[in-house]
Structure 1
């Protein structure tokens, strides 16, 4: 898959490190802060760029982005345990399954400055969350669906990690946004961030439930897999597609009109602001920590009207 090859390229460039890599002895001379993802996905390229920008402004720190070998609680927890053992002073993590990570996160919070991003774990002792309001993002996705289907419809959702807070909250927000309309969310299928399964979930629905008129990709890679399945099945442009995030396939579909719109987040900003917030915290400056522990970074809708401007904006950030 292209996302695997691109991740390998980033690793070779030193922007992403495999989960087996530990902090080097040289890095121990500087406090190390690590951005830990929930799995391997092209979505995190923007976060890697944010880490890189923050590194240029924080020369007294060693900043890294790492991803677990698998998108599982066990793999993510093992990675963070290894990082703390190797001396990481701060971690910001997208929790794979916060409900089943409370004890581990609380343990880590006693050993390092623990922050969350993308998928929060508010019931733990994490210091703060830097990321989207996933409920609001879900409501924005509902706005896309309502505009595209004024006469109503039946939607099927697809997501990577059904137990993650970001998934649950996006689904909740989507349902809230559809309240009182003729549009319903019939069900949501999970794939555990397996690309083959993500695509087959869509293909299976197209065969099993022809009454579905709308497909929603709740994770960044779900919409491209929806696109691929629809194209192979000869259904592209016949079924409303609502997306999340700015994968190039998704943005291309928005531009050509086969995807109604997508709700984009700002992982570049999460990483950039998160790293700077943790660095300040480690110096004893807690002024950047919100009183409620939530640093919400705005999401927005990208449609055919503003997709070109969004693409240009993202290219500028990556430079």
Structure 2
């Protein structure tokens, strides 16, 4: 009977192997599980309910947001309570992708809450997708970029917004740029989407901060295509040879601007400033190619969003009140996450006294020290 025993042994081995493969596949989860710090959920956490953070586009800007979410998950001891946080970057960078994900999660029994950075604030299909989540008792907060607050239906669909006051941030940047180049002139603005809420608000704020002495030459969208981002800078410089100031509103726009200015050898002719401290932007500032950066705090966005979703799901009014202390008052559904303005050195013409008291003024070295303190490479 040795041949039969061998066959039975083979069947047994294949059965075990197949069962193991199925277990691995079932245990895997897309996205980054920031509770465990792994891209694959542990067997213990596979049955846990998810708090999902969905970005507008994929970018290193979100790395520190993920760190903040992980810290909040640790403080709340989510693992022990049957929850985990999943960080989901919208790698396609489209509103269709965002909406599709939200619709899928509305029908998922293991989704407990969603934090969303909105790509198109006035998109009616997005409103329907958010409302579908709410209809399934899944709370929603927005971070970094909000819905259309002027539309009551949009505003009511999410519980609140955690992030930068983008108009005020734009003003701070505009004031700093005007301090560097006080003679006025022409400026061009570059961003991924000219219709996204944070882009519109930053754009308007920059114009206010620069003042009447400046005239806008271009406001160009690149649809998050980094090659197009660089080409937009070239096109703007070709169209308007006497541009004085170049402004980037999204994280990758700053290194794109610096790259083209270096390529064309016109650094002495232009002032360069914009949003977010990506690793590349920081390197460009270190090398003397960026004059000012307005830096948000995505770490705090992830941290507060995780706590807010937990408080809403577990009906923890005291914790929720710590995050949204004035929620029932006008604009109480908006919570600031903090703002920093970074210049290369103390020799910069920008000084703290021209900024709001709430804006933290730092040199490049001081900001680097802050990043190192929290183990971050960008913000």
TM-score by length of 1: 0.88
Question: 1:4-41, CA deviations, whole angstroms, 9 ceiling, x for partnerless residues?
Answer: xxxxxx96998586xxx9x8986463331011000111
| Closer/same/farther in 2, CA of residues 99 and 25 from structure 1, 3 Å limit | farther
Give the deviation of 1:158 after TM superposition.
0.2
Decide which of 90, 113, 119 is 1:68's aligned counterpart: 90
Decide which of 243, 253, 259 is 2:274's aligned counterpart: 243
Give the deviation of 1:104 after TM superposition.
2.3
Q: Distance in 1 between matches of 2:96 and 2:229?
A: 21
Question: 1:33-74, CA deviations, whole angstroms, 9 ceiling, x for partnerless residues?
Answer: 011000111111111111221222233320111012311111
- 1:104 corresponds in structure 2 to 129
Give the deviation of 1:91 after TM superposition.
0.6
Q: Distance in 2 between matches of 1:299 and 1:134?
A: 10
Structure ID, larger Rg:
2
| Closer/same/farther in 2, CA of residues 109 and 11 from structure 1, 3 Å limit | closer
Contact conserved, 2:33 with 2:85, CA < 8 A, in 1? no
Contact conserved, 2:102 with 2:129, CA < 8 A, in 1? no
Give the deviation of 1:140 after TM superposition.
0.8
Does residue 29 of structure 1 match 2:47? yes
Q: Distance in 1 between matches of 2:33 and 2:131?
A: 33
Query: Aligned with 1:219: secondary structure?
Result: coil
Give the deviation of 1:273 after TM superposition.
1.3
Q: How many residues align?
A: 305
- 2:375 corresponds in structure 1 to 318
Give the deviation of 1:107 after TM superposition.
2.3
- 1:198 corresponds in structure 2 to 229
Q: Distance in 2 between matches of 1:162 and 1:270?
A: 23
Structure 1 residues without counterparts, runs of 5 or longer: 1-9
Does residue 57 of structure 1 match 2:75? yes
Structure 2 residues without counterparts, runs of 5 or longer: 1-30, 346-362
Range with bigger deviation, 98-107 or 36-45: 98-107
Query: Aligned with 1:98: secondary structure?
Result: coil
- 2:349 corresponds in structure 1 to none
Contact conserved, 1:240 with 1:258, CA < 8 A, in 2? no
Q: Distance in 1 between matches of 2:316 and 2:364?
A: 39
Q: Distance in 2 between matches of 1:309 and 1:183?
A: 31
Query: Aligned with 1:318: secondary structure?
Result: coil
Decide which of 236, 239, 247 is 1:216's aligned counterpart: 247
Query: Aligned with 1:92: secondary structure?
Result: strand
Contact conserved, 1:40 with 1:67, CA < 8 A, in 2? yes
Decide which of 175, 200, 203 is 1:171's aligned counterpart: 203
Query: Aligned with 2:305: secondary structure?
Result: helix
Q: Distance in 2 between matches of 1:219 and 1:257?
A: 20
Question: 1:55-98, CA deviations, whole angstroms, 9 ceiling, x for partnerless residues?
Answer: 22233320111012311111011122223333211111100001
Does residue 283 of structure 1 match 2:305? no
